[in-house]
Structure 1
């Protein structure tokens, strides 16, 4: 047998990708995400250093700034005395080693700060998006099936209120009514003040408490999670209800749905196997963007409920010009959106085979 007849690894890999369009689709999307992640680091670094203000003055105070020796020592310690291109190369090299720098406020690793802040926001945003998906998709389907009837009109009003009411105002109102006036909701923070945090495994208090068997801590963490999560849910439910209703109405008018009904298929089969599968593509897009927005835009809600998450950490870092912390937050937010978009693209390929082929 000649050597030319033996398939090479490269040719075998290409044939494997040709036989599996979903694998080719995922590989292409993953490579794009990696390139975009590199672009995120560059954009984050440039925008952070374009912010007006002196980090030394913000961190040391006006009295210390008057001493040139202290200022020089501060700039040398954080590498601010080097040219910007060299600062970026140093930052990128440290980043590949898992070093995001040292926070100028907490004087500890930014990665350590983020390991506490990100899981707190992830727990809050995860609970909000799960409830939003269940309620929003259900409301949208019911509204579409009951088009122009009383149920449809009522759900459309509810969704309009959800997307129109300012989130910070709703958070203040909910905290005042359910905690201060009625006393049926726990106060601020992630757990009751007389309890200690569970052993750190994932950073999610409910998960860590359940893994450790600390059920009192679990129920306290779950109770503190309810009110801020429901406040964040209000806007997302309204958004998903409107998009789901529009997507389902569009699919209901397609010829293949009429043909399925004409064949005498049960309404449940038509709804779940024909209508919802096609309508989920635009809904997934909105849900992915909403989840990314929840992770990166919960500043006001976290401040009102004293939730020690990414939003509160970003606010403190921005007001004190803590550049390493600001760049760390920007990098996390960028990676969150890249990950969410990658997950959305994967779900596209799973739900709609036409996406894989294209």
Structure 2
């Protein structure tokens, strides 16, 4: 074959198929996961540094003044807990243990911090999960009703309810609810997560309601739900008010868009217009508020847990901070930071699923 023929064959040869690029949603998720990993490392740095900058001497808080007068005991305690080493070396030891799943030992309970948190976090997660579920259902429903009935009596009433929910202090509401519904009316059970006579269900997830269902213990399930109702509603009231106002504002903004008017002009049923066009666009800011609210519920339940004797992460963090239990304080800070990162990651994923414009940027 001549050289010209070979060139001709090469000229008409089909180009090699290009490697198919990842879908936009996959690229979006990969970027968010990488950012979350970097932020998680930043959380460890901030948690470690801030914990070690807390004023006070952990040696005095844990040993007491009598033991502090003996230099040998103090030196032994510092060496045992690594406090005699430079700060950067302590951080290296902390990271090394963290990679192995070791958060250190609590100086108060004398148990691994991971074991303490494994018992406290599910309790708070159950309480905050119930509160955010009630908040989403009622807050979004109230906000949509208020927007669709703008400037009518129902709109004014719902806005008043949301204003009250945002304004009332949560700890005061918890005290009033406990006094009225338990002490005076006997409508709800007392403190704790389950009746002491029944006992906790066999631990599987740490969530008493779920574990009771898995074990088929319906009496324990009823008791766990009864104990959960009052503190969950107390925590949910603020978030309901917040979501009501944000949902109303978002729905009103979407209702004035051209594509909503065009959908109505086509003769589509109002139900289709509401769920397919209005709510889908209005959910983006609502999801943001709900994610932040859930994170704050997980990390800010100290007073409610104290009033209802709920053995969650709030009580554990309070006791650790008052006794300068540094490993426990760092463990709580790390858990709270990771919770916010996971929630933000979930919110970003929901952004990409609901609004295609987000994942194409």
Normalization by structure 1: what TM-score? 0.96
TM-superposed CA distance for 1:16, in Å, is 3.6
Which position in structure 2 is the counterpart of 1:309?
A: 312
Which position in structure 2 is the counterpart of 1:51?
A: 54
Is residue 105 of structure 2 the alignment partner of residue 132 of structure 1?
A: no
Aligned-partner Cα distance in 1 for 2:74–2:197? 42
TM-superposed CA distance for 1:6, in Å, is 7.6
Aligned-partner Cα distance in 2 for 1:218–1:151? 36
Structure 2: which 5+ residue stretches go unaligned?
A: 1-9
- Aligned counterpart in structure 2 of residue 144 of structure 1, from 141, 147, 156: 147
Aligned-partner Cα distance in 2 for 1:105–1:46? 21
Which position in structure 1 is the counterpart of 2:264?
A: 261
- Aligned counterpart in structure 1 of residue 178 of structure 2, from 171, 175, 187: 175
Which position in structure 1 is the counterpart of 2:3?
A: none
Aligned-partner Cα distance in 2 for 1:6–1:258? 48
TM-superposed CA distance for 1:230, in Å, is 0.4
Which position in structure 1 is the counterpart of 2:298?
A: 295
Is residue 97 of structure 2 the alignment partner of residue 100 of structure 1?
A: no
Work out the number of aligned pairs and report it: 348
Structure 1: which 5+ residue stretches go unaligned?
A: none
- Aligned counterpart in structure 2 of residue 331 of structure 1, from 325, 329, 334: 334
Bigger CA radius of gyration: 2
Is residue 270 of structure 2 the alignment partner of residue 280 of structure 1?
A: no
Which position in structure 1 is the counterpart of 2:92?
A: 89
Aligned-partner Cα distance in 2 for 1:303–1:39? 31
TM-superposed CA distance for 1:77, in Å, is 1.3
List per-residue Cα deviations over 1:24-71 (Å, max 9, x = no partner): 000000000000000000000000000000001111111121121221
List per-residue Cα deviations over 1:213-250 (Å, max 9, x = no partner): 11111111111000000000100000000000000000
Aligned-partner Cα distance in 2 for 1:60–1:217? 41
| Counterpart secondary structure, 1:81 | coil
Deviates more, 1:196-205 or 1:45-54: 196-205
The 5-angstrom pairing of residues 1-358 of structure 1 reads 12=19, 15-17=20-22, 20-358=23-361
Which position in structure 1 is the counterpart of 2:7?
A: none
Aligned-partner Cα distance in 2 for 1:334–1:148? 41
Normalization by structure 2: what TM-score? 0.95
List per-residue Cα deviations over 1:294-327 (Å, max 9, x = no partner): 0000000000000000100000000000000000
| Counterpart secondary structure, 2:188 | coil
TM-superposed CA distance for 1:209, in Å, is 1.0
Aligned-partner Cα distance in 2 for 1:45–1:310? 18
Deviates more, 1:175-184 or 1:66-75: 66-75
- Which ranges of 4 or more aligned residues in structure 1 deviate by more than 3 Å? none
TM-superposed CA distance for 1:195, in Å, is 2.1
| Counterpart secondary structure, 1:143 | helix
